[in-house]
């Protein structure tokens, strides 16, 4: 039995035990439905070869050769990745447009005895939903902005808010980047723009639109990932909560938070080189000397004083609103973070109540 699935609504996708992306590994790497596994009907080289035959020689020959390759690949998947799947297992399959690759795999898996679904329109149905939600929709998103200077532990506060059942959207985690020239993680490459948007879409649609979403203040670029139009517009208009901490505390926090980066001195030096257009040669050379001496707390203090704090002040002055609240952290330890998160939770709940009252008035 093969079921045609018309859209990517969460309730429809949740009916299946697995989502199979039958496209090539290259297509999958660029973007895919989060959580989908890649069982390609054709790998990248096979897809390119069959495409060349189709365009330059013969459509029939391309289909004949492609069918043989697809059959072998599906057989291998059944014997390996799918070998332990029980009779009751229900997969949903998609390819680029919901055409031949997903249809071929669905036909074979259905003959095995599994109840198979095929996503109508394939990956393009998913991508269309992402674009409509993140770029084209004019519907507001109820955002509360977590603002404050570099090193004020905003990411840790956001993590604690999530544990306290406050709706959050961790853009840096989704973008695998900490939002500065030092921001990448050594063991987590950044996703491409389409994959970032897929992850963002998946997270947003799990949230309750009637409750506020706490988002850390960012520029519209997080590394190479760009915040999509609808969310960026909501963030620019959002009321904000400002967190503050003394410079010495923030410098120590930054040195600890970037521990993975500072283990790679060449990566630190490369990041400092990216600051060269914004500072004179003497200052950059001083920072390089600090990095080579592994004096990272002092380096963090100077970077905040001379680069990141001025950037924050310029951004703050462009906003005409006053923060809903200012929260000062005195220690940046777990207790301090928890107290700040609980206060922000109270603010978010009051904000949601005021919004509901205004909507019903």
Per-residue pLDDT tens over the stretch 333-342: 999 999 999 9
How buried is 86 (Cβ within 10 angstroms: 0-12 exposed, 13-18 middle, 19+ buried)?
exposed
Tokens representing 267 are 């990566």
Cα radius of gyration (the chain): 25
What is the per-residue pLDDT across 84-130, written as a single tens digit (0 to 9) for each? 999 999 999 999 998 899 999 999 999 999 999 999 999 999 999 99
Q: Strand (E) positions, the chain?
A: 2-5, 18-21, 37-38, 91-94, 116-119, 143-148, 168-169, 213-216, 221-222, 225-226, 240-244, 325-328
Dihedral in degrees, nearest 10, Cα atoms 251, 257, 263, 268:
-60
What is the per-residue pLDDT across 186-202, written as a single tens digit (0 to 9) for each? 778 999 999 999 999 99
Q: Which of 36, 95, 214, 245 is catalytic?
A: 95
Tokens representing 108 are 């074979």
What is the per-residue pLDDT across 219-258, written as a single tens digit (0 to 9) for each? 999 999 999 999 999 999 999 999 999 999 999 999 888 8
Tokens representing 277 are 């257009």
Dihedral in degrees, nearest 10, Cα atoms 298, 300, 303, 305:
-70
Q: What is the mean pLDDT of the chain?
A: 93
Give the span between the Cα atoms of 285 and 264, in whole angstroms: 18
Residue 95 annotated in active site: yes
pLDDT band at 58 (very low <50, low <70, confident <90, very high): very high
Question: pTM for the full model?
Answer: 0.93
């Amino acid at each position: 039995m093969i079921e045609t699935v018309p859209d990517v609504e969460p309730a429809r996708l949740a009916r299946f035990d697995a989502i199979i992306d039958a496209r090539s590994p290259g297509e999958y790497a660029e973007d895919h439905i989060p959580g989908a596994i890649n069982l390609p009907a054709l790998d990248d080289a096979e897809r390119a070869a069959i495409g060349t035959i189709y365009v330059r020689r013969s459509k029939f020959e391309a289909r004949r050769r492609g069918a043989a390759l697809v059959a072998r690949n599906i057989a291998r998947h059944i014997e390996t990745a799918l070998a332990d799947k029980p009779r009751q297992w229900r997969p949903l399959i998609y390819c680029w447009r919901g055409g031949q690759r997903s249809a071929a795999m669905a036909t074979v898996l259905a003959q095995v005895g599994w109840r198979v679904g095929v996503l109508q329109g394939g990956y393009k149905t998913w991508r269309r939903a992402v674009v409509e939600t993140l770029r084209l929709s004019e519907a507001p998103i109820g955002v509360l902005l977590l603002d404050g200077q570099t090193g004020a532990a905003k990411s840790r506060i956001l993590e604690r808010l999530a544990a306290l059942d406050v709706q959050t959207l961790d853009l840096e985690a989704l973008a695998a980047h900490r939002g500065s020239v030092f921001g990448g993680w050594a063991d987590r490459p950044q996703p491409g723009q389409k994959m970032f948007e897929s992850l963002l879409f998946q997270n947003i649609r799990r949230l309750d639109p009637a409750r506020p979403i706490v988002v850390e203040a960012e520029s519209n670029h997080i590394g190479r990932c760009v915040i999509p139009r609808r969310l960026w517009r909501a963030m620019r208009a959002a009321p904000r909560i400002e967190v503050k901490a003394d410079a010495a505390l923030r410098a120590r926090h930054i040195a600890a938070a970037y521990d993975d980066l500072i283990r790679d001195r060449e990566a630190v030096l490369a990041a400092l080189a990216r600051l060269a257009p914004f500072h004179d040669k003497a200052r950059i050379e001083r920072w390089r000397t600090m990095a080579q001496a592994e004096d990272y707390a002092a380096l963090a203090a100077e970077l905040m004083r001379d680069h990141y704090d001025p950037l924050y002040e310029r951004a703050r002055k462009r906003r005409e609103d006053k923060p809903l609240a200012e929260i000062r952290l005195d220690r940046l330890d777990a207790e301090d973070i928890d107290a700040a998160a609980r206060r922000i939770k109270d603010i978010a709940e009051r904000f949601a109540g005021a919004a509901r009252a205004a909507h019903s008035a």
